[in-house]
Amino acid sequence: MHYYSLSNPNETTNFAQAVVNGIAPDRGLYFPSEIPRLPASFFDKIEEMDVHEMALTAIQAFVGDEIPKEELERIVKTTLDFEFPVVAVEDQIGSLELFHGPTLAFKDVGARFMAQCLGYFNKQNSTQKVTVLVATSGDTGGAVANGFFGVEGIEVVILYPKGKVSKVQEQQLTTLGQNITALEVDGVFDDCQDMVKTAFLDSEITNQRTLTSANSINVARWLPQMLYYFLAYRQLKHKNKPLVVAVPSGNFGNICAGMIAQQMGLPIDHFVAATNVNDAVPAYLESGNYQAVKTTPTISNAMDVGDPSNFVRIQKIYGNDFENLSQHLSGYRFTDEETRTAMQHIHTSSGYVADPHGAVGYLGLKKYLENHPDKYGIFLETAHPVKFLTTVEETLGTKVELPQRIQDLLEKEKQSTPISNYEDLKRFLLA
């Protein structure tokens, strides 16, 4: 399978190089040269198929023979070793729970898959250790740390802002050890991000270490998210109703992966992009003009993105045709107040506890179903409510029980190295 840069179709490469590079040399996002269609027989029997076999077939279409089948099978099994249940919330509405992975948020699947692919490619043709350098505002760091933990030949260095991440998030970053190092930065997230960017351009460092990033535009983090939609469909096929999927969206990688699944033939009737007040995409769907917005902090903070990177991929999928896109995608924005009201409503009417991100998805779905009562809808529940414990407990006025895994995590010993400026980071990386 070939991948090309969305900034220049002549800039092409293979899957391995797209994974190692992350972004094309001209700064464009990589996109597959074709989206293969799976045969009708695949969908006829999907509910009987073994989960790993189904996932392997879907993902192999984008990896080709660059990873041998047995190895890819091992990667798929390692990536998908937990449940993805659809839980009924209302007659017409289910919650697709994507938070049963090790760090309790949906980013686990992409991070694990990418870590395993990078580990494989590195083993094939490199004697040099690769250093994954990432800045995190909270969720990404935990998923990356966990996904890369123990992967041979790869060292991970995570920068996080001191005192600005939740206790659970900090423990997820700082208690693993081995090939994972956490640098606790005396500053805010943007300082961490700036230092990482500077390091990538610093030849004294790059001459000595192979640096790579693990952010969500990497095809190996983006594409495996398509599997959620296959996993949902096989559970809901028996309903025999057009399936609507509402995705709480920030950088739009998750929903975009769902659209790839649809292009492969997966019967998804319609997508709903649900955002908080950072509403560049819903605004585009209303006006036809795309404009980045200035980021506003909200209670669904993993979606506080003013200029979603993956939107160019979405436009590409629908042939850069506004009418075509509008037929497949609706977009709605919601305020924090509406989100809290929805969390309370879901809880009192069905007993279900949704996190703020899932609640935004629920709101988008409800709005769409108002005018499409014959369809069945799911919203993606992208994080476990304990990841946003304070907001959830405050909003619902109840205590949320901590899963055993989290209680154990909180008891582990924190190990981090404090740094305060770029020179500190450089010294660390050159040591």
Binding site for ligand PLP (CB under 6 A): 105, 107, 139, 248-254, 302-303, 357, 382-383
Smallest distance from ligand PLP to CB 132, Å: 18
Smallest distance from ligand PLP to CB 105, Å: 5
Smallest distance from ligand PLP to CB 305, Å: 7
Measure the CA–CA gap between 401 and 197, rounded to whole angstroms: 39
Nearer to ligand PLP, 179 or 339 (CB): 339
Smallest distance from ligand PLP to CB 324, Å: 21
Helices 107-125/69-79 angle, 10° precision: 150
Nearer to ligand PLP, 24 or 359 (CB): 359
DSSP-assigned states of every residue in 266-332: ----EEEEEESS--HHHHHHHHS----------SSGGG--SS-TTHHHHHHHTTT-HHHHHHHEEEE
Smallest distance from ligand PLP to CB 253, Å: 4
Is residue 145 packed enough to be buried (19+ CB in 10 Å), middle (13-18) or exposed (0-12)?
buried
Nearer to ligand PLP, 361 or 429 (CB): 361
Measure the CA–CA gap between 60 and 329, rounded to whole angstroms: 27
Smallest distance from ligand PLP to CB 107, Å: 6
Nearer to ligand PLP, 356 or 377 (CB): 356
Nearer to ligand PLP, 119 or 361 (CB): 361
Nearer to ligand PLP, 224 or 250 (CB): 250
Residue type, 386: V
**Which two tokens mark 28?**
């464009």
**Which two tokens mark 414?**
């924190």
**Which two tokens mark 71?**
């190895």
Nearer to ligand PLP, 136 or 174 (CB): 136
Nearer to ligand PLP, 115 or 425 (CB): 115
Query: Are the CB atoms for 31 and 7 separated by under 8 Å?
Result: no
Smallest distance from ligand PLP to CB 430, Å: 32
Nearer to ligand PLP, 120 or 222 (CB): 222
Phi and psi (nearest 5°) for 351?
80, 0
Smallest distance from ligand PLP to CB 299, Å: 11
Nearer to ligand PLP, 72 or 223 (CB): 223
Smallest distance from ligand PLP to CB 94, Å: 17
Measure the CA–CA gap between 161 and 28, rounded to whole angstroms: 28
Query: Are the CB atoms for 167 and 136 separated by under 8 Å?
Result: no
Smallest distance from ligand PLP to CB 146, Å: 14
Smallest distance from ligand PLP to CB 261, Å: 14
Residue type, 195: M
Measure the CA–CA gap between 106 and 92, rounded to whole angstroms: 23
Parallel/antiparallel/unpaired status of strands 93-97 and 86-90: antiparallel
| Residue-level length of the chain | 431
Q: 41-52: buried (b, 16+ CB within 10 Å) or exposed (e) per residue?
A: ebbeebeebebe
Give the CA angle between residues 279, 97, 180 to the nearest 5°. Answer: 85
Nearer to ligand PLP, 62 or 271 (CB): 271
370: left (phi over 0), alpha (psi -120 to 50) or beta: alpha
Q: What is the dihedral of CA 71, 74, 79, 81, to 10 degrees?
A: 170
Q: What is the dihedral of CA 98, 104, 109, 112, to 10 degrees?
A: -170
Phi and psi (nearest 5°) for 376?
-105, 140
